[in-house]
Amino acid sequence: MLKPKIAPSMLSCDFSQLGEEAIRMIDSGADYLHMDVMDGHFVNNLTFGAPVVNCLNNYLQKNTKKEYVLDCHLMVSNPEKWVEDFAKSGATIFTFHIEATENPSELIEKIKSNGMKVSIAIKPKTDVSIIFPFLDKLDMVLIMTVEPGFGGQSFMKDMMKKVEILREKLPNLDIQVDGGLSPKTIDFASKAGANVIVAGTSIFKSDDPAKTIQILKDSVQNNLIDKDKDKDKK
């Protein structure tokens, strides 16, 4: 059964306090920690790689007894190069962009064989049908609701059609949305069928991150209940 999952984007945190910020999010009710990996090539920004994820994982293992998921979104060229490194770093989910690889099937198998869950991301201008051949092999799909590369962009409501199409095809698939999500925009995403919500600025800049996370989670949960009711009617 689908559940709401909230994934604060660590790109919006205070990097000088990365470990403490991660624990603050976990203690506030976060389900995932979303790690935005950018290479300065596939996107015009440079963030961090597997060594930082590894350091964070080691810190969390020593400093929290709560469960956590390292949700790694690779906005990089040639994602095949980094599978082993991220597996060793402790990554739970490896998300690659369909636009960044020539052999998605091979990459999917490589990720799975290295013990990670696998997800495909698509940019706003990419047609959702391009990932249809791979859906039965995926743990999650990420629909970008902004152009990848920088935080703080405005939510692209027209991307919700992609979410609706995917939810209709696969009622039990984890569908993640990333970009411009906040208490003001969450209902558009949750009504379309998204259940995994990435939010950076709206959570980290909130006076009460736990309250913000709960607002996002409640919106998803309420819409999941509504969709279940609609199924029962049919």
**HSE-up of 66 (CA within 13 Å, CB side)?**
15
Q: Is 115 annotated as a binding residue?
A: no
Q: Report whether pLDDT(231) > 70.
A: no
pLDDT at position 149: 83
Residue 228 reports pLDDT greater than 80: no
Can you read off the two tokens belonging to residue 210? 């736990």
Using a cut of 0.85, tell me whether the model's pTM lies above it.
Answer: yes
221 band by pLDDT with thresholds 50, 70 and 90: very high
Question: Which residue, chain included where needed, has tokens 């703080």?
Answer: 152
73 a known binding residue? yes
**Which among 36, 32, 27 has a CA at the least distance from the CA of 7?**
32
**What pLDDT, on the 0 to 100 scale, is given for residue 227?**
66
Q: How many whole angstroms separate alpha carbon 211 and alpha carbon 216?
A: 9
Are 10 and 33 within 8 A, CB to CB? yes
Residue 167 neighbours by CB under 8 Å, 6+ apart? 173, 175, 192, 193, 194, 227
- Bridge partner residues of 117 (DSSP): 93
Is a pLDDT exceeding 90 seen at residue 230? Answer: no
Q: Is 34 annotated as a binding residue?
A: yes
The reported pLDDT for the residue numbered 70 is 98
According to DSSP, residue 153 is labeled P
Residues 6+ apart with CB under 8 A from 208: none
pLDDT of residue 114 exceeding 80: yes
> Is there a binding annotation on residue 149?
yes
Per-residue model confidence as pLDDT tens digits over 70-94 = 999 999 999 999 999 999 999 999 9
Active site members: 36, 178
Q: Average pLDDT, stretch 13-20?
A: 97
Torsion of CA 164, 151, 200, 35, to 10 degrees: 90
226 is in an annotated binding site: no
**What's the pLDDT score for residue 9?**
97
Q: Looking at the predicted structure, is the pLDDT value of residue 176 above 70?
A: yes
The string of pLDDT tens digits covering residues 38-70 is: 999 999 999 999 999 999 999 999 999 999 999
* DSSP output for 73-122: EEE-S-GGGGHHHHHHHT-SEEEEEGGG-S-HHHHHHHHHHTT-EEEEEE
